[in-house]
Structure 1
Amino acid sequence: MYFPIMLNIKDKNVLIIGAGNVAFHKAKKLLACECHLKVVSYFFTKEFLKLENIEFIKDHYNKGYLQNNYMVIAATDNKDLNNEIYRDALELGILCSVVSGGASDFILPASFNRGDLSISVSTNGKSPSLSKRIVRDLKCVYDESYEEKVDLLGQIREEMLLSEEIPENEKKFILNEMVNFSVEELRIFAKKMFEGV
């Protein structure tokens, strides 16, 4: 059973074994998190090699590549090799995800961001296609305006929690109600709050 969690991997060493299409898409998502990414494969596509801030290692897998990594993704086209990578990572106490199913410490859900709003969907590996479809639908509901909405709600919350003028029991009520405000209403509220009107 998987426990939903968000990991901060900024500046952490992350390793991908394999360089196929799945590995390519995982690499793009991981790079957005500002990790130190290495990819080991005996072959890289031109598209993969265009990605920046990756250390490419042209080689076959060996256990030594796992050393000093926070997590590893086994993304080869060989199920037996992926399982071997998982067993080796487990032995070394390194988090490992196997993309072809089977044993994994974690899975990477289908996800998208709107600024600081992160939305992820998982079927626990049963149907990645369904997860992607749900994400596509949610992108329509939570459009680009949510980036500003989340920023405004965060600024207002921070200011309100510092305020001594608003009774504590009212703060939570107000903050809960504000999630129903439009972006324009939040802008007006924030302006009044910050100007002390």
Structure 2
Amino acid sequence: MALTPFMIELKEKNAVIVGGGRVAERRANTLLNNGASLTVVSPDAEEGIMQLAEQGKLVWKQKGFAGNDLGHAFLIVVATDDPAVNESVVKAASPDALINHAADSEQGNVQFPSFFRRGHLSISVSTDGASPMLAAGVKRDLQARYDESYEAYVDFLYACRQHLKQQSSLERSEQRDILRELLSTAYLNSDNQQKMYDYLEALTGRSPL
């Protein structure tokens, strides 16, 4: 199965997780952190899922799965330890639904990669299900390479780029030259970032901040 990497907006999209174990809990936290409207269907659930339900952050249907539980789900996560139930979820899903099958990626059309964020910077790693342990190891290496300092740095890049886009007094080539310069690791330093802010303010007559 050939997968196409892309970023997706899940805010207020209906998502259904069938299953209440640890995988379901991890998926629930990921989806809620990205603004999905979430329903979990499972007779039993991890403590974390129950707490989220009590807090009103998700709907927990404390029952076995039935076809009508999927409703108009935009995204379906199949995460039970019962192959027969998992198969019934896949069969009941709309042909247009996005399906993540935790136990058998070939039965779905969406996978959750290992990922982390540094502010505006998102980095994900996938082996197409071949080795989640390898993906986790590569993620750890990248987390060490792109540490917490990159959150402020990428915010800085964003502010400068937005500022330059609004400056009609600068040629496109001038804007690109400045943006290329900002890729230097010297600008990981907050003092150098402030110097660039001061330079852009003097150059354009308006503060980037």
Calculate the TM-score normalised by the size of structure 2: 0.88
- Which residue identity lines up with residue 50 of structure 2 in the other structure? L
State the match for 1:3 in structure 2.
4
SS of residue in 1 equivalent to 2:107: coil
Q: Say which of 91, 94, 101 aligns to 1:98.
A: 101
- Give the Cα–Cα distance (whole angstroms) in 2 for the partners of residues 173 and 15 of structure 1: 47
Unaligned runs of 5+ in 2: none
Q: Unaligned 5+ residue runs, structure 1?
A: none
Matching residue of 2:201: 194
After the TM superposition, which segments of 4 or more aligned residues of structure 1 sit over 4 Å from their partners?
none
Q: How far apart, in 2, do the equivalents of 1:130 and 1:100 lie?
A: 17
Q: Structure 1: how far apart are the matches of 2:176 and 2:145?
A: 25
The question of whether the paired residues in 1 share the 8 Å contact of 2:15 and 2:74 is answered with yes
Q: CA RMSD in A?
A: 1.6
SS in structure 2 of the partner of residue 50 of structure 1: helix
After TM superposition, the structure 1 stretch with the greater mean CA deviation from structure 2, 173-182 or 11-20, is: 173-182
User: Which residue identity lines up with residue 188 of structure 2 in the other structure?
Assistant: S
Number of the residue aligned with 1:21: 22
Q: % of aligned pairs identical? A: 30
- 2: CA distance, partners of 1:194 / 1:29: 39
Q: How many residues align?
A: 196
Query: Which residue does 1:86 correspond to in 2?
Result: 90
Contact 1:153 / 1:186 at 8 angstroms: preserved in 2?
A: no
TM-score of the pair, normalised by structure 1: 0.93
Contact 1:74 1:98 in 2 (8 A): yes
Cα offset, 1:44, TM superposition: 1.3
Q: What CA distance in whole angstroms lies between the structure 2 residues aligned with 1:28 and 1:72?
A: 14
